[in-house]
Copies of this chain bind each other. A is one copy, B any other.
């Protein structure tokens, strides 16, 4: 087997993170050894420790990157006027961003319990930021009488769970495109919060 020597840190780093993400999403963090990750990349175990101080940091890096990227993309959305349009935009954004990133979603939701307390808090803070964006839309809609609900915060969490659950069943080769799924959920969610029509 040919061995590559020399400096590869700019390409090896991402390859390690990709492999770790895929393997951890598939089997769970504790079930994936550093050896398996190294083998998947084509390295020996020891080499991994040039890229991460330990396994915990690698896991945290994956989750933090996902949340930071998510928030960055959310921030790039054009500002819309009405809460109804904003809600549609958020729902479509959530679905189109998450569905092609199933591994990231799996890891970010299932491996929270394997984070150290400090790392857990940092991820939770990012997650709260994201939830806050949706909650602000619901609040605006409440103020404008477009939306009505019993409890704004719970409605926020309910919608996020509803949307994130899609990653558990959606298949790229299934009968629906991502856009079609988004349309279905826009309808479901708009109806669940819409004020009664006069």
List chain B residues, Cβ under 8 A from A51: none
CA distance A165 to B159 in the complex (A): 9
Contacts A114-B27, A192-B189 given: A165-B158 contact, CB under 8 Å? yes
Chain A positions 135 through 164: 1 when the CB is less than 8 Å from some CB of chain B, otherwise 0: 000000000000001110011011111101
Is A194 interfacial (CB 8 A cutoff)?
A: yes
Q: For residues 14 through 31 of chain A, which have their beta carbon under 8 Å from a beta carbon of chain B?
A: 26-31
Chain B's nearest CB lies how many Å from the CB of A86? 18
CA distance A49 to B191 in the complex (A): 53
> How many subunits of this chain does the assembly comprise?
2
Determine which residue in A29, A160, A162 has the highest number of CB atoms from chain B within 10 A of its CB, and name it.
A162
Q: Are A165 and B157 in contact (CB under 8 A)?
A: yes
Q: Are B161 and A166 in contact (CB under 8 A)?
A: yes
List chain B residues, Cβ under 8 A from A157: 165-166, 168-169
Contacts A157-B169, A184-B151, A188-B155 given: A114-B162 contact, CB under 8 Å? no
Contact sample, A vs B, 19 pairs, CB 8 Å cutoff: A28-B31, A28-B113, A29-B30, A30-B31, A31-B114, A110-B110, A150-B187, A154-B176, A157-B165, A157-B169, A158-B162, A158-B166, A158-B188, A159-B162, A161-B161, A161-B164, A161-B165, A164-B165, A188-B192
